Amino acid sequence: MNKSKVLTREEVLKLIRQAPNEIFLIIKVALLLGIFGGCRQELVSMLVNHIADKDSVTILNIPETKTDKKRVFTIIDENEMKSLKLIR
């Protein structure tokens, strides 16, 4: 039987900080979008042109949602996970 494991906050931070980008970059980006953007199936509909890099902020336009409402969110430069650096 395949059991799912829920990652703790510390495990998520460790993955983002320590896992090599050459292997885990797409997992890290999907994790950040899923956690901070509340995205699930929306991730599969996203294209590169849905992302705008504006110096100190990255703007993400979520193309399709379950509620058919436009969603936009930003990723700012912060010290905890270095999310903006990772996405760039």
Burial class from Cβ neighbours inside 10 Å (0-12, 13-18, 19+) for residue 32 reads buried
What percentage of the chain reaches a pLDDT higher than 70? Answer: 76
State pLDDT tens for residues 47-70.
888 878 887 787 888 877 777 777
Check residue 57 and report its DSSP letter. E
Distance of CA 24 to the CA centre of its chain: 12
pLDDT score, position 70: 76
Tracing tokens 């903006």 back to the chain, one arrives at 84
